[in-house]
Amino acid sequence: MQNSWLGTIVRFIVAAVVLMVVSFITPGFRGMGFGSALLAALVIAAVGWIIEALFGRNVSPYGRGIVGFLVSAAVIYLAQYVVPGMSVSILGALIASFIIGIVDMFVPTELR
Protein backbone atom coordinates (compact mmCIF):
# COMPACT_ATOMS: atom_id res chain seq x y z
CA MET A 1 0.00 0.00 0.00
CA GLN A 2 2.81 2.41 0.88
CA ASN A 3 4.54 1.76 -2.49
CA SER A 4 1.26 2.57 -4.21
CA TRP A 5 1.10 6.01 -2.56
CA LEU A 6 4.79 6.64 -3.16
CA GLY A 7 4.41 5.66 -6.83
CA THR A 8 1.44 7.99 -7.21
CA ILE A 9 3.32 10.89 -5.64
CA VAL A 10 6.35 10.25 -7.86
CA ARG A 11 4.13 10.13 -10.98
CA PHE A 12 2.55 13.49 -10.10
CA ILE A 13 5.93 15.09 -9.44
CA VAL A 14 7.31 13.74 -12.74
CA ALA A 15 4.17 14.92 -14.56
CA ALA A 16 4.51 18.39 -12.97
CA VAL A 17 8.17 18.67 -13.98
CA VAL A 18 7.32 17.56 -17.53
CA LEU A 19 4.52 20.16 -17.69
CA MET A 20 6.88 22.88 -16.44
CA VAL A 21 9.51 22.05 -19.06
CA VAL A 22 6.91 21.74 -21.82
CA SER A 23 5.34 25.07 -20.83
CA PHE A 24 8.70 26.81 -21.25
CA ILE A 25 9.59 25.28 -24.63
CA THR A 26 6.16 25.17 -26.28
CA PRO A 27 4.86 28.21 -28.18
CA GLY A 28 1.39 29.18 -27.03
CA PHE A 29 1.89 27.65 -23.57
CA ARG A 30 2.77 30.18 -20.87
CA GLY A 31 5.42 29.07 -18.38
CA MET A 32 4.22 27.74 -15.03
CA GLY A 33 5.75 27.40 -11.60
CA PHE A 34 5.94 24.08 -9.79
CA GLY A 35 2.74 24.67 -7.79
CA SER A 36 0.69 25.45 -10.90
CA ALA A 37 2.25 22.52 -12.74
CA LEU A 38 1.45 20.15 -9.86
CA LEU A 39 -2.14 21.41 -9.76
CA ALA A 40 -2.34 21.03 -13.55
CA ALA A 41 -1.07 17.43 -13.25
CA LEU A 42 -3.81 16.72 -10.68
CA VAL A 43 -6.49 18.34 -12.86
CA ILE A 44 -5.28 16.48 -15.97
CA ALA A 45 -5.29 13.19 -14.04
CA ALA A 46 -8.82 13.86 -12.73
CA VAL A 47 -10.19 14.79 -16.16
CA GLY A 48 -8.42 11.75 -17.64
CA TRP A 49 -10.06 9.53 -15.02
CA ILE A 50 -13.49 10.99 -15.83
CA ILE A 51 -12.95 10.48 -19.58
CA GLU A 52 -11.85 6.87 -18.99
CA ALA A 53 -14.91 6.25 -16.78
CA LEU A 54 -17.24 7.60 -19.48
CA PHE A 55 -15.62 6.26 -22.65
CA GLY A 56 -13.30 3.44 -21.61
CA ARG A 57 -9.54 3.02 -21.32
CA ASN A 58 -8.81 3.26 -25.08
CA VAL A 59 -9.81 6.93 -25.32
CA SER A 60 -7.64 7.95 -22.37
CA PRO A 61 -5.14 10.80 -22.61
CA TYR A 62 -2.56 8.15 -21.73
CA GLY A 63 -3.76 5.86 -24.52
CA ARG A 64 -1.84 5.36 -27.72
CA GLY A 65 -2.75 6.65 -31.14
CA ILE A 66 -4.41 9.72 -32.57
CA VAL A 67 -7.46 9.53 -30.28
CA GLY A 68 -5.28 9.54 -27.16
CA PHE A 69 -3.21 12.40 -28.60
CA LEU A 70 -6.27 14.53 -29.36
CA VAL A 71 -7.93 13.79 -26.02
CA SER A 72 -4.68 14.67 -24.26
CA ALA A 73 -4.52 17.99 -26.12
CA ALA A 74 -8.15 18.72 -25.19
CA VAL A 75 -7.49 17.90 -21.53
CA ILE A 76 -4.42 20.17 -21.47
CA TYR A 77 -6.42 22.97 -23.10
CA LEU A 78 -9.36 22.60 -20.68
CA ALA A 79 -7.08 22.45 -17.63
CA GLN A 80 -6.20 26.11 -18.10
CA TYR A 81 -9.72 27.04 -16.99
CA VAL A 82 -9.14 25.39 -13.61
CA VAL A 83 -5.44 26.03 -12.97
CA PRO A 84 -4.46 29.60 -12.08
CA GLY A 85 -1.39 30.78 -13.97
CA MET A 86 -1.85 28.26 -16.78
CA SER A 87 -2.46 29.64 -20.26
CA VAL A 88 -2.35 27.58 -23.44
CA SER A 89 -3.59 28.05 -27.00
CA ILE A 90 -5.08 25.21 -29.04
CA LEU A 91 -1.85 24.91 -31.04
CA GLY A 92 0.14 25.02 -27.80
CA ALA A 93 -2.00 22.20 -26.36
CA LEU A 94 -1.43 20.09 -29.49
CA ILE A 95 2.33 20.66 -29.38
CA ALA A 96 2.43 20.03 -25.62
CA SER A 97 0.45 16.81 -26.06
CA PHE A 98 2.93 15.64 -28.69
CA ILE A 99 5.95 16.46 -26.52
CA ILE A 100 4.39 14.88 -23.43
CA GLY A 101 3.61 11.76 -25.48
CA ILE A 102 7.25 11.50 -26.53
CA VAL A 103 8.49 12.05 -22.96
CA ASP A 104 5.96 9.48 -21.69
CA MET A 105 7.50 6.86 -23.99
CA PHE A 106 10.82 7.20 -22.15
CA VAL A 107 9.73 8.29 -18.65
CA PRO A 108 6.26 6.83 -18.08
CA THR A 109 4.13 8.84 -15.67
CA GLU A 110 1.68 5.96 -15.30
CA LEU A 111 2.25 2.30 -14.56
CA ARG A 112 1.21 0.11 -17.46
CA-CA-CA-CA torsion for 92, 93, 98, 102, nearest 10 degrees?
100
At residue 66, the pLDDT reads 72
Q: What is the pLDDT of residues 22-61, one digit of tens each?
A: 888 888 888 788 888 888 888 877 777 777 777 766 655 4
Instruction: Give the separation between CA 88 and CA 79, rounded to whole angstroms.
Output: 9
Q: Which residue has the higher pLDDT, 110 or 104?
A: 104
Q: What is the mean pLDDT of residues 52-75?
A: 69
Instruction: Give the separation between CA 67 and CA 39, rounded to whole angstroms.
Output: 24
At residue 59, the pLDDT reads 55
At residue 107, the pLDDT reads 64
Q: In the chain, where are the structural domains located?
A: 2-106
Supply the mean pLDDT for the chain. 77
Report the range of poorest mean pLDDT among 78-82, 84-88, 95-99, 106-110. Answer: 106-110
